[in-house]
């Protein structure tokens, strides 16, 4: 009997915790991000796609609000450089590959509009755990941007 009660307790806890996280919708996630960014001194906005945009260290970032996977967090440093002529593409790909290979948790890539962007994608135990990582993610992305630009000179 005790085994059944203990087992039932753990099952209820599991469903209760999962249910709590699953109850967050896109608006709630946006508000959580907006409130935290404001408390850190940023002036965030929500764009037409529902992404939360803000500027940090002189760079434009956005949080891709993902409401169907609450354990993930995606931060993007928007396309900051147009690579221009096709002759620059190989150099940009080499620099992007080098920075991605040597910098933790960042991806540097060429967007479909021929611009360079940087992102990080991490997994979280709880959606609000992003607060613990945001500043470090911003710092590492800005450093990756500087390294990329240096390699492009």
Q: Which fold has domain 25-152?
A: Yope Regulator; Chain: A, (3.30.1460)
In this prediction, residue 87 carries a pLDDT of 84
Q: Which of 17-26, 87-96, 99-108, 117-126 has the lowest mean pLDDT?
A: 17-26
Dist. CA 53–CA 15, nearest whole Å: 33
Dist. CA 148–CA 59, nearest whole Å: 14
Residue 142 contacts residue 103 (beta carbons within 8 Å)? no
pLDDT tens digits for 53-95? 999 999 999 999 999 999 999 999 998 899 988 889 999 999 9
* Sheet bearing 59-64, strands edge to edge: 45-46, 52-56, 59-64, 72-82, 115-123, 107-110
**What is the distance of C-alpha 1 from the center of its chain?**
46
Dist. CA 114–CA 23, nearest whole Å: 38
More confident site: 117 or 12: 117
Please name every residue paired with 111 in a beta bridge, in sequence order, or none if there are none.
none
| Per-residue confidence band for 19, with pLDDT thresholds at 50, 70 and 90 | very low
């Amino acid at each position: 009997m005790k085994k059944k009660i203990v087992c039932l307790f753990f099952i209820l806890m599991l469903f209760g915790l999962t249910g709590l996280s699953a109850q967050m919708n896109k608006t709630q996630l946006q508000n959580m991000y907006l409130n935290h960014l404001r408390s850190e001194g940023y002036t965030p906005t929500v764009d037409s796609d529902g992404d939360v945009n803000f500027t940090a260290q002189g760079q434009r970032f956005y949080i891709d609000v993902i409401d169907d996977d609450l354990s993930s967090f995606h931060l993007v440093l928007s396309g900051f450089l147009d690579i221009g002529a096709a002759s620059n593409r190989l150099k940009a790909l080499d620099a992007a590959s080098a920075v991605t290979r040597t910098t933790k948790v960042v991806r540097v890539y060429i967007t479909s509009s021929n611009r360079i962007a940087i992102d990080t994608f991490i997994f979280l135990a709880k959606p609000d755990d992003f607060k613990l990582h945001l500043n470090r993610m911003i710092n590492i992305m800005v450093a990756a941007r500087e390294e990329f630009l240096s390699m492009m000179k």
